[in-house]
C-alpha cells in the first residue's frame, strides 16, 4: 500500500519516495543529484485554487510572483492555468515573453527598473508597470515621449507601514523601506496626482506587499484598510476613483512542524470581507482585488534530491552528514534560518534511528541544510530528499565554489521532463574571457 504524504508525494510499495508518479530514487539515478523535482500537478492545483478564489469568484486577478521560481516551462504552465505574472527584471520579463506568455497579463515590478528594462516593458506592451518612486515616473515619461507610444497603464507601489511576520503583523507606521511611495509623508498622494495629470500615464491602481510567509489573515486586512483609506483620500482630493488594489503576495506555506498555513480559500475570504468592510467604512466602492502569490504556488511542489557522501561524528556532540549540494542550491537555511524537513528517499519506510545535521559541500561552516533531523541510519549513497524547496531555491542558486547548478525536472503522472539542464564545467567558463597576454 502506498503511503500518501503531501501533493502527489507517496511512499511506493518499494519503500521509495515517489513524486508525480516517479520513483525519486530512479530520478536521482537517471538525472543525477542534486536535482530539483517539481510536481506539475501540485503547481496546477495551487494555480486553480487562486484562480477560482480571486479571478472566477471575485472578478479580481492573481499574478504568480515569478521570483519564486521561473523557467520557460513554468511560464507556460502559468499561461495555461490562466493566471497573470509578476516580473521584477528584464530577465524575468524576457523569460516569460520567450515562453509565449501574453504581455498583457504581466505586472512589471522593481524599485530600480533601468531605462532598458522599462523600454522593453513598454515596447512589449506589458499589462501594468508598478511604479515604485518619483525617479521612475520621470524616466517612464521620458521613454514614452521618446518612443512615442500610447499612454502606459501604471499602478503605484505604496509603503503602507504594515509589516507582517510569520505569526503576527506590526503596524510600524515606519517609512523606512526602499520600496514604494511613503504614505505618511504625503508622497503617495503626490504621486497619484502626478500620474493623473500626466498624458503619458494612466493610473490603474495601487499596490503594496507586506511580507512573506504570512500565516495570519489580519495582516492582509490591516493593509487593505490602509490602502482603501488611501483610495478614499485620493477620491476626496482629486475626484478620481482608483479601481484596483493589489495586495501583493506572502501567503504562508508548510515547511516544517509548527507551520500552520491557512487555506487559499480562507485567505481569500478574509481579504474580501476586509475589503468590503473597509470600502463601506471609507465610502468607496470595493476595489478589484489582485494578489501575487509566489511561494504558495511552487514551494511545496519542489523537492531537492541529494546523494549522501561523507559523514563526521563528534562523540557526544553531533553527527554531520554531508550531501552533494548545499547553500549553492538552497541558501535559505544559511540566510534566514529556514527549517526544512527531509526523508531518505530509498529508506522512506525505515524507522528513525539517529539525529543528524545535514551539511552542504561548500567551504563555509554556515553551509548547513538541516540542523538536527531525525533519520534512519544514513549511509553514503543514500538519496536524501528535502521537501518544500520549490520556492526561492532555484532562483537564488549560485555557483559558489564553482559548483555547477543542478538540473530541474518536472514530473507529472509518471513522466519526468528536464526543464533546466544541469550545468557543466564548460558552462562555468562560458562567459569567461582569458586575455591573450595571460595564455601561457
Nearer Cβ to ligand LLP (71/322): 71
In the list 34, 180, 248, 325, the residue contacting ligand LLP (rule: CB under 6 A) is 248
Site residues (CB under 6 A) for ligand LLP, limited to 287-316: 292-296
List the one residue from 31, 108, 181, 251 that touches ligand LLP (CB under 6 A): 251
Catalytically active residues are: 363
Single residue of 16, 79, 109, 347 touching ligand LLP by CB under 6 A: 109
Provide the 8-state DSSP code for 275. H
Q: Where on the phi/psi map is residue 108: left (φ > 0), alpha (ψ -120 to 50), or beta? A: beta
Contact 408, 394 (CB under 8 A): yes
User: Closest CB to ligand LLP belongs to which residue?
Assistant: 294
- My answer on whether omega of the bond before 34 falls inside 30° of 0, hence cis, is yes
Q: Which residues contact 170 (CB under 8 A, 6 or more apart)?
A: 162, 163
Size of the site for ligand LLP (CB under 6 A): 20
Cell 488611501: give the residue.
230
Question: Contact letters (x/-) for ligand LLP, 206-245, by CB under 6 A?
Answer: ---x--x---------------------------------
Nearest-approach distance from CB 395 to ligand LLP, in angstroms: 8
Query: What secondary structure letter does DSSP report for 251?
Result: B
Query: Nearest CA to 169 among 207, 222, 229?
Result: 222
Going 64 to 66 to 67 to 68, the CA torsion angle's sign is positive
Q: Is 307 helix (H, G, I), strand (E, B) or coil?
A: strand
Q: For residues 98 and 124, what is the distance between their CA atoms, to the nearest angstrom?
A: 11
Closest contact distance (angstroms) between CB of 139 and ligand LLP is 19
- Non-local (6+) Cβ contacts of 145 within 8 A are 200
Restricting to residues 79-108, which ones interact with ligand LLP according to CB under 6 A? 86
Q: Nearest 5°: phi and psi at 96? A: -65, -45
Query: Stretches 63-71, 187-195, 226-234, 409-417: which one binds ligand LLP (CB under 6 A)?
Result: 63-71
Q: Report DSSP state, residue 281.
A: H
Query: Which of 47, 49, 68, 224 is in the footprint of ligand LLP by CB under 6 A?
Result: 68
Q: Among 37, 2, 36, 33, which Cα is nearest to 383's?
A: 33
Minimum CB distance to ligand LLP, residue 70 (Å): 12
Between 192 and 250, CB nearer to ligand LLP: 250
- CA 162 – CA 242 distance, rounded (Å): 21
Residue from 105, 288, 332, 361 touching ligand LLP (CB under 6 A): that is: 332
The distance of closest approach from Cβ of residue 249 to ligand LLP in the complex, given in angstroms and rounded to an integer, is 3
Site for ligand LLP in 133-162 (CB under 6 A): none
Q: How far apart are CA 100 and CA 247, in angstroms?
A: 26
* CA–CA dist 197, 183 (Å, integer): 19
Q: Which stretch binds ligand LLP (CB under 6 A): 113-121, 235-243, 264-272, 286-294?
A: 286-294
> Is residue 65 part of the contact set for ligand LLP (CB under 6 A)?
yes
- Closest CB to ligand LLP among 322 and 333? 333
Beta carbon nearer to ligand LLP, 10 or 64 = 64
364-383 residues near ligand LLP, rule: CB under 6 A: none
User: For binding to ligand LLP (CB under 6 A), which residues are involved?
Assistant: 65, 67-68, 86, 109, 209, 212, 248-251, 292-296, 332, 336, 391-392
Amino acid at each position: 500500500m502506498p503511503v500518501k504524504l503531501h501533493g502527489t508525494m507517496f511512499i511506493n510499495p518499494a519503500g521509495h519516495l515517489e513524486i508525480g508518479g516517479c520513483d525519486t530514487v530512479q530520478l536521482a539515478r537517471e538525472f543525477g543529484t542534486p536535482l530539483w523535482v517539481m510536481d506539475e500537478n501540485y503547481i496546477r492545483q495551487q494555480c486553480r485554487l487562486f484562480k477560482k478564489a480571486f479571478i472566477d469568484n471575485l472578478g479580481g486577478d492573481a499574478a504568480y510572483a515569478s521570483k519564486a521560481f521561473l523557467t520557460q516551462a513554468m511560464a507556460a504552465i502559468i499561461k495555461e492555468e490562466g493566471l497573470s505574472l509578476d516580473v521584477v527584471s528584464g530577465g524575468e520579463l524576457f523569460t516569460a515573453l520567450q515562453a509565449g506568455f501574453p504581455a498583457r497579463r504581466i505586472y512589471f515590478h522593481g524599485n530600480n527598473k533601468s531605462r532598458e528594462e522599462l523600454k522593453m516593458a513598454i515596447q512589449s506592451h506589458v499589462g501594468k508597470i508598478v511604479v515604485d518612486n518619483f525617479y521612475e515616473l520621470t524616466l517612464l515619461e521620458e521613454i514614452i515621449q521618446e518612443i512615442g507610444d500610447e499612454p502606459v497603464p501604471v499602478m503605484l507601489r505604496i509603503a503602507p507601514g504594515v509589516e507582517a511576520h510569520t505569526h503576527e503583523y506590526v503596524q510600524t507606521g515606519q517609512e523606512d523601506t526602499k520600496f514604494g511611495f511613503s504614505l505618511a509623508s504625503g508622497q503617495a498622494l503626490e504621486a497619484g496626482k502626478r500620474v493623473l495629470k500626466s498624458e503619458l500615464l494612466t493610473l490603474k491602481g495601487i499596490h503594496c506587499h507586506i511580507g512573506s510567509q504570512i500565516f495570519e489573515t489580519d495582516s492582509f486586512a490591516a493593509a487593505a484598510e490602509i490602502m482603501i483609506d488611501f483610495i478614499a483620500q485620493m477620491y476626496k482630493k482629486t475626484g478620481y476613483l482608483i479601481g484596483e488594489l493589489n495586495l501583493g503576495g506572502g501567503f504562508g506555506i508548510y515547511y516544517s512542524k509548527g507551520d500552520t498555513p491557512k487555506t487559499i480559500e480562507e485567505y481569500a475570504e478574509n481579504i474580501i470581507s476586509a475589503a468590503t468592510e473597509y470600502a463601506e467604512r471609507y465610502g468607496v466602492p470595493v476595489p478589484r482585488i489582485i494578489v501575487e502569490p509566489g511561494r504558495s504556488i511552487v514551494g511545496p511542489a519542489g523537492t531537492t534530491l541529494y546523494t549522501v557522501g561523507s559523514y563526521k561524528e563528534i562523540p557526544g556532540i553531533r553527527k554531520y552528514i554531508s550531501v552533494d549540494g548545499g547553500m549553492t542550491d538552497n541558501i535559505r537555511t544559511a540566510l534566514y534560518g529556514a527549517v526544512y524537513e527531509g526523508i531518505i528517499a530509498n529508506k522512506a519506510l525505515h524507522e528513525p534511528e539517529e539525529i543528524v545535521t545535514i551539511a552542504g559541500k561548500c567551504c563555509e561552516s554556515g553551509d548547513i541544510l538541516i540542523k538536527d533531523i531525525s533519520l534512519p541510519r544514513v549511509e553514503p549513497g543514500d538519496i536524501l530528499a528535502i521537501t518544500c524547496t520549490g520556492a526561492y531555491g532555484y532562483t537564488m542558486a549560485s555557483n559558489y565554489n564553482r559548483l555547477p547548478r543542478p538540473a530541474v525536472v518536472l514530473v507529472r503522472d509518471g513522466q519526468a521532463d528536464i526543464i533546466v539542464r544541469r550545468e557543466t564545467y564548460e558552462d562555468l567558463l562560458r562567459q569567461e574571457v582569458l586575455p591573450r597576454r595571460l595564455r601561457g
